[in-house]
Structure 1
Amino acid sequence: MDWSVLWSNRDLYASGLWSTVELSAAAIAACTLLGLVIAAIRTSRIPVLAQFARCYLEIFRGTPLLVQMLFIYFGAAYLGIGNISVFGAALLALTLFQGAYVAEIFRSGIEAVPRGQWEAARVLGLSRVQTFGTVILPQTRAIVLPPLVGQYLSLVKDTSIAVVIGYAELLREGQAIVDRDGHPGMAYLAIAVLYFVICSPLSVVVRRMERKAVTA
């Protein structure tokens, strides 16, 4: 195995790694916010909004991420929405797709909190919004953290799908290296290792957060 191939292409690997981290971080933040909003709507007592949220979940959980990403990037022009950047299309697709799963994780966590907590907060004179933000969400965090990080890790790996619309993430840069220098086994092994480098620290951080939540 010619290890010099990896070193000579270090700039491409670094560029792909940064692009993957950038897209992952933006999508994690966006899908978490979206998922929390959708979960709050689904657990609300407003039928119209709850039904809208249900339709969103059915659509984006029932169609492949690949199709959604292609539709957003190539279909935007046909719908008269205007041009959308490769990064913007990848971010929007990941946010909408992963946000649907994150919403269900949050909803399960919210519903796992005993109903008596809502009633006790009402007795204390707290509004529904205050109850949700100061009483329910803090208890929900410990419940949703394990499945939530699993979804985040899935999101990081799903960024590789953005290669189909030309986003220069790890997989695309790896393909460019293979096309130019060959050595596909070594190139793709390096990509797998770099994905592990991204995902492993996230798992460690969450485990520490879980321990703190248990001892708090």
Structure 2
Amino acid sequence: MVEFTLWDILRNLLLAARWTVVLSLIAFVGGGLVGLVLLLLRTLERPWLQRAIAAYVQLFQGTPLLMQLFLAYFGLALFGVETSSWFAASLALTLYTSAFLCEIWHGCVRAVPRGQWEAAQSLALGYMEQMRHVVLPQAMRLAVAPTVGFLVQVIKGTALASVIGFVELTKAGTMITNATFQPFLVYGCVALMYFTLCFPISHYSRVLESKLHVHRH
């Protein structure tokens, strides 16, 4: 058994935590961009397009993230595409995040009173001008708090990337446990680090919700 001091454990976990943060940011930013494109397409008056995007959202919401990670990592290899755990984890989490953000934002857009759409149309504004100047500013007020809150789910979701060999906080914890045989101490530190990452974001989400007067129903 390798002798590890508490500082050794914390230092190695902190080094791995940076990759948890980086992967979370990649998934959130990438998923946000894809989700925004899906949202704009979904609000078009194209029934077939709306159904297709709704099916996309249901697919990623209705299947476990773990399965999506396996498919991204092993599925691409079946088509002769060599991939790394970095790429597979980023791809799976980006698509997963885009589906949820699209649904969150779509609900916020639908919450904008119909009269606002009609007022924008009466001003002869084009579709993109309606979204940019009238609809999205109002929808963003509703969307900020749940969007920030969903980032917590993304951070916790990165833990599943350990199953495809991505060395983030959870994977590092498992590796250190195998070397030290101190699972309670190691996983206690891992849990504390996840809490340190997630609690400020959860708290900030509630503060935003209170400031913007957005209440849960």
TM-score normalised over the length of structure 2? 0.89
Alpha-carbon separation, structure 2, partners of 1:35 and 1:191:
30
CA contact (8 A) 1:142 1:210 kept: no
Q: Secondary structure at the match of 1:60?
A: helix
* Most deviating of 203-212 and 159-168: 203-212
The one-letter code sitting in structure 2 at the alignment partner of 1:45 is E
| Structure 2 counterparts to residues 8-157 of structure 1, below 5 A | 8-80=8-80, 82-157=81-156
Distance 1:5 1:211 in 2: 43
| 1:83 counterpart SS class | coil
Contact 2:9 2:186 in 1 (8 A): no
CA distance in structure 2 between the aligned counterparts of 1:15 and 1:191, rounded to whole angstroms: 12
| Separation of aligned partners in 2, 1:181 and 1:93 | 32
For residue 167 of structure 2, give the secondary structure of its aligned residue in structure 1: coil
Q: Does 1:168 align with 2:167?
A: yes
The number of residue pairs the alignment matches comes to 210
| Displacement after TM superposition at 1:65 (Å) | 0.8
Name the counterpart of 2:193: 194
Q: Give the stretch that moved more between structures: 52-61 or 105-114.
A: 52-61
What is the alpha-carbon distance in structure 1 between the residues aligned to residue 152 and residue 138 of structure 2? 23
Deviation at 1:53, TM superposition (A): 0.6
- Structure 2 portions without partners, runs of 5+: none
Aligned amino acid, residue 155 of structure 1:
V
CA shift digits 1:77-97 (9 cap, x unpaired): 2123x1122111111111112
CA distance in 2, matches of 1:206, 1:127: 33
Q: Which moved more, 1:172-181 or 1:48-57?
A: 48-57
Q: TM-score, normalised by structure 1?
A: 0.90
Cα distance in 2 for residues equivalent to 1:207 and 1:141: 16
Q: Which moved more, 1:113-122 or 1:51-60?
A: 51-60
Q: Does the 8 Å contact 2:85/2:165 carry over to 1?
A: yes
Contact 1:106/1:140 (<8 A) preserved = yes
Cα displacement string for residues 60-114 of structure 1 (whole angstroms, at most 9, x for unaligned residues): 122111111111111112123x112211111111111222121111111000000
- How far apart in 1 are the matches of 2:139 and 2:211? 14
CA distance, structure 2, for counterparts of residue 211 and residue 135 of structure 1 = 23
- Segments of 5+ residues of structure 1 without an aligned counterpart are none
Moved more, 135-144 or 6-15: 6-15
Instruction: Give the alignment's Cα RMSD to 1 decimal.
Output: 1.7
165-174 or 90-99: which moved more?
Answer: 90-99
CA contact (8 A) 1:118 1:131 kept: yes
